[in-house]
Amino acid sequence: MSRLPENRPPWHALLAPLPPEAMPVRTPIGSREVLGPAHGAAIAGWQNLSLNLSAGTFGLRHLLIVLDETGRPIAASDHVFIHWENPSDPSGPWHMRQESIGGRLEEDGRFLGTCWAVTGPEPREDEPPAWESIPRRPTDEEAAVLKGLVAEIVARAG
């Protein structure tokens, strides 16, 4: 199996602590076209808090929190996308790995979600993807860390 790049920033891992300077961006959950009609009224006050952390050419970490109209976090996810070169075949395709955790944050404090890992070679233009996807239930510790990240991001967003 290919090695991951060694020079990734320490925060560029699933559920890792955030760098102090990272600030989330607040946006409406949908466009005016979506939120304007009667069926969009139910989510009109909802917002997204998102945070993108780059690792240069090697990858990206994206955290997303959905807030309801009261400002309560109702869903959260943390995704890490990593690309690396196969050292045994430098002329071959780059490989990718995505690690994710995401799901609902219940009012009673429970987290109902999934973790998954997707890995495989980047497909060539004329090939379908040959990625392997492995889902699993998050541990209680992973859910607690995600909830801590949510609290930190909401606090940073003000």
Reported as a single tens digit per residue, the pLDDT across 61-74 is 999 999 999 999 99
Q: Are the beta carbons of 57 and 31 closer than 8 angstroms?
A: no
Please compute the mean of the pLDDT values over residues 75-87 and round it to a whole number: 83
Q: Are the beta carbons of 146 and 101 closer than 8 angstroms?
A: yes
pLDDT in tens, 6-44: 566 777 889 999 999 999 999 988 776 766 767 767 777
* Average pLDDT for the chain: 85
Residue 154 pLDDT exceeds 90: yes
| 157 pLDDT tier (thresholds 50, 70, 90) | very high
Please compute the mean of the pLDDT values over residues 48-73 and round it to a whole number: 91
Residue 103 pLDDT exceeds 90: yes
Q: Are the beta carbons of 62 and 79 closer than 8 angstroms?
A: yes
| 94 pLDDT tier (thresholds 50, 70, 90) | confident
Cβ atoms within 10 Å of 51's Cβ, excluding its own:
20
pTM: 0.83
Q: Look at 59 and 89; give whichever has higher pLDDT.
A: 59
pLDDT at 90: 67
Residue 3 pLDDT exceeds 50: no
Give CA 89 to chain center in angstroms. 29
